[in-house]
């Protein structure tokens, strides 16, 4: 239940005023810091988990285990928007940095902090309302949203495949998946957002209420403008779909890239696809090249739409085309694997097809990865855009990469805590970005956050950066919401 704006907020504010006075002197002692946390604790409905106490060790860890070492001062788990308002006001009064976390999947640890971690994982409600609008708590994961909307009336939103990714983090950075060419990005289905800004006020923003902030939240909203507590989406009816997986022998990988990109250039919007070139996750074997995707329609119609790829040159060595309910398709793409891992990644955005040199560069990179025994799993994934994503003008939302033909996602996934292995993954990602630079635009996907990108602001936001900075300046002039790649208050 949302309670912001009610009388108890005034009571919470009163309790916090005492803490503010004490903390105006700064955290002169541990005892004073503990006292301040006590007062925050008393003001919250949800738990405040502190080091050494039950729940902290688990709650502080993001899904991306690379950032397990970043220890927050405490973890607050708000139960409603009023809790979030109390946290924001407390943090401002005490000058404490906030980290905002929904699904914890940030590639670059942008939801990790040594300040107070605001973990929204208890805000998981998903309610389908009139007109097919879904009101979704900011802590819900994609898997939860998909299953709830399916159960509520065979409806969905277009978003990503991994079920443990947070719907908030993904949508605020754009959010693409296998419905994107038909229905657009997740942020394109957003109709309203509830956000707590730096002054502690909660706002329901939409195309008609604070439209500038709503514009910014659709592509650049991750951790820069405030804490989003709920998202309202337009949903679409879905029923039966057809999934496909085509595999080629590794020796034909460069030609498979050529065939796939030519095929996707004229594919119908109902058909979405990625082409994954990966090394095996265990030693031995050869890299794989597989086109995965989904067709929004019957199996006979999918087979007809896929003819060009199935009978093309080179011919796939194995094909699988399967009719499924949409719910089964989301489980299929989830792949049954959601355990915490270490993950690092980056991306390039291509506006034109890769020529022979570009295709060879991709294949070489995957083969170099395969030759290094420290680098199991991961590789390069081409994700086809176009369709509904490309029909939105570049400046219409903060998400600017509307004219991308496809992205090149560079991914390293591992479990070992060995620094040598981490270093090897980073080195490969750097090398891959460099090697692919001549064949792509200078842009990169903000959802594949990479602290190593020089000039990340332009790479993520291009010509939308100036407007984003002006929205930031208006909404959060003192830069209360910041992380390593948040929108600055000035350029």
Taking the complex as a whole, the smallest distance from the CB of residue 254 to ligand FAD amounts, in Å, to: 25
Taking the complex as a whole, the smallest distance from the CB of residue 323 to ligand FAD amounts, in Å, to: 23
Identity of the residue, 161 or 243, whose beta carbon is nearer to ligand FAD in the bound complex? 161
Given the rule CB under 6 A, which residues bind ligand FAD? 62, 100-107, 110-111, 120, 138, 160-162, 165-166, 168-170, 172-177, 222-223, 227-228, 343, 447, 483
Report the candidate in 468, 412, 403, 413 with the shortest Cα–Cα distance to residue 440.
403
Identity of the residue, 106 or 346, whose beta carbon is nearer to ligand FAD in the bound complex? 106
Report the candidate in 391, 395, 406, 397 with the shortest Cα–Cα distance to residue 445.
406
Report the candidate in 227, 208, 255, 481 with the shortest Cα–Cα distance to residue 354.
255
Taking the complex as a whole, the smallest distance from the CB of residue 8 to ligand FAD amounts, in Å, to: 22
Taking the complex as a whole, the smallest distance from the CB of residue 186 to ligand FAD amounts, in Å, to: 7
Taking the complex as a whole, the smallest distance from the CB of residue 384 to ligand FAD amounts, in Å, to: 13
Contact between 222 and 195 under an 8 Å Cβ cutoff? The reply is no
Strands in 33-83 per DSSP E: 48-49, 74-76
Taking the complex as a whole, the smallest distance from the CB of residue 105 to ligand FAD amounts, in Å, to: 3
Identity of the residue, 145 or 363, whose beta carbon is nearer to ligand FAD in the bound complex? 145
Taking the complex as a whole, the smallest distance from the CB of residue 63 to ligand FAD amounts, in Å, to: 7
Give me the helices (H) in 174-270, please. 180-183, 211-220, 253-265
| Number of other CB atoms surrounding residue 463 within 10 Å | 10
Residue whose beta carbon is closest to ligand FAD: 169
CA-to-CA dists, residue 385 to 185, 269, 351, 356, angstroms: 10, 10, 10, 21
Identity of the residue, 107 or 146, whose beta carbon is nearer to ligand FAD in the bound complex? 107
3-state secondary structure of 387: coil
Contact between 88 and 198 under an 8 Å Cβ cutoff? The reply is yes
Identity of the residue, 19 or 228, whose beta carbon is nearer to ligand FAD in the bound complex? 228
Taking the complex as a whole, the smallest distance from the CB of residue 270 to ligand FAD amounts, in Å, to: 19
Identity of the residue, 170 or 354, whose beta carbon is nearer to ligand FAD in the bound complex? 170
Report the candidate in 378, 374, 373, 407 with the shortest Cα–Cα distance to residue 390.
407
Identity of the residue, 88 or 424, whose beta carbon is nearer to ligand FAD in the bound complex? 88
Q: Give dist(CA 408, CA 19) in Å, integer.
A: 49
Identity of the residue, 177 or 379, whose beta carbon is nearer to ligand FAD in the bound complex? 177
Identity of the residue, 256 or 445, whose beta carbon is nearer to ligand FAD in the bound complex? 445
Identity of the residue, 39 or 121, whose beta carbon is nearer to ligand FAD in the bound complex? 121
Q: Are strands 227-234 and 288-295 parallel, antiparallel or unpaired?
A: unpaired
Report the candidate in 248, 202, 181 with the shortest Cα–Cα distance to residue 89.
202
Taking the complex as a whole, the smallest distance from the CB of residue 375 to ligand FAD amounts, in Å, to: 17
Report the candidate in 70, 84, 65 with the shortest Cα–Cα distance to residue 5.
84
Contacts 24+ apart (CB under 8 A), 261-268: 261/353, 261/354, 261/382, 261/384, 261/405, 261/406, 262/353, 263/308, 263/309, 263/312, 264/384, 264/386, 264/405, 264/406, 265/353, 265/386, 265/405, 266/308, 267/181, 267/305, 267/384, 267/386, 268/305
Identity of the residue, 334 or 396, whose beta carbon is nearer to ligand FAD in the bound complex? 334
Taking the complex as a whole, the smallest distance from the CB of residue 98 to ligand FAD amounts, in Å, to: 9
Taking the complex as a whole, the smallest distance from the CB of residue 486 to ligand FAD amounts, in Å, to: 7
Beta-bridged to residue 243, according to DSSP, are 294, 322
Q: What would the two tokens of residue 349 be? A: 């955005």
Contact between 305 and 295 under an 8 Å Cβ cutoff? The reply is yes
3-state secondary structure of 208: coil
């Amino acid at each position: 239940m949302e309670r912001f704006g009610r009388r108890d907020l005034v009571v919470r504010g009163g309790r916090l005023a005492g803490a503010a006075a004490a903390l105006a002197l700064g955290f002169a002692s541990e005892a004073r810091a503990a006292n301040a946390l006590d007062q925050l604790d008393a003001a919250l409905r949800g738990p405040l988990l502190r080091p050494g106490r039950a729940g902290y060790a688990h709650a502080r860890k993001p899904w991306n285990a690379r950032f397990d070492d970043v220890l927050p001062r405490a973890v607050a788990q708000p139960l409603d928007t009023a809790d979030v308002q109390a946290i924001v006001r407390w943090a401002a009064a005490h000058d404490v940095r906030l980290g905002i976390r929904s699904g914890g999947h940030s590639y670059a640890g942008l939801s990790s902090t040594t300040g107070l971690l605001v973990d929204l994982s208890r805000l998981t409600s998903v309610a389908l309302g009139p007109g097919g609008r879904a009101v979704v708590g900011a802590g819900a994961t994609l898997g939860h949203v998909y299953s709830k909307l399916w159960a509520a009336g065979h409806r969905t939103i277009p978003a990503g495949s991994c079920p443990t990714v947070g719907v908030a983090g993904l949508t605020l950075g754009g959010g693409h998946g296998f419905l994107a060419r038909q229905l657009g990005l997740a942020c394109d289905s957003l109709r309203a957002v509830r956000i707590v800004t730096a002054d502690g006020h909660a706002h329901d923003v939409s195309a008609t209420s604070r439209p500038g902030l709503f514009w910014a939240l659709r592509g650049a909203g991750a951790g820069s403008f405030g804490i989003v507590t709920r998202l309202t989406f337009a949903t679409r009816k879905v029923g039966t779909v057809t999934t496909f997986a085509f595999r080629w022998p590794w020796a034909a990988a460069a030609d498979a890239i050529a065939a796939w990109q030519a095929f996707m250039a004229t594919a119908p919007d109902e058909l979405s696809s990625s082409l994954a070139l990966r090394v095996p996750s265990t030693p031995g074997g050869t890299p794989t090249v597989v086109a995965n995707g989904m067709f929004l329609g019957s199996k006979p119609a999918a087979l007809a739409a896929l003819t060009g790829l199935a009978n093309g040159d080179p011919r796939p060595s194995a094909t699988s085309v399967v009719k499924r309910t949409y719910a089964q398709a989301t489980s299929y793409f989830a792949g049954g694997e959601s355990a915490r891992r270490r993950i690092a990644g980056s991306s390039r955005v291509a506006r034109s097809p890769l020529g022979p040199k570009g295709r060879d560069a991709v294949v070489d990179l995957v083969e170099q990865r395969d030759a290094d025994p420290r680098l199991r799993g991961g590789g390069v994934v081409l994700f086809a855009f176009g369709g509904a994503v490309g029909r939105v003008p570049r400046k219409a939302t903060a998400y600017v990469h509307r004219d991308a033909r496809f992205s090149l996602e560079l991914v390293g996934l591992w479990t070992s805590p060995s620094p040598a292995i981490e270093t090897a993954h980073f080195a490969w990602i750097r090398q891959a970005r460099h090697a692919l630079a001549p064949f792509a635009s200078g842009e990169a996907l903000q959802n594949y956050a990479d602290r190593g990108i020089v000039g990340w602001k332009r790479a993520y936001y291009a010509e939308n950066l100036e407007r984003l900075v002006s929205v930031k300046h208006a909404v959060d002039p003192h830069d209360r919401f910041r992380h390593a790649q948040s929108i600055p208050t000035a350029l």
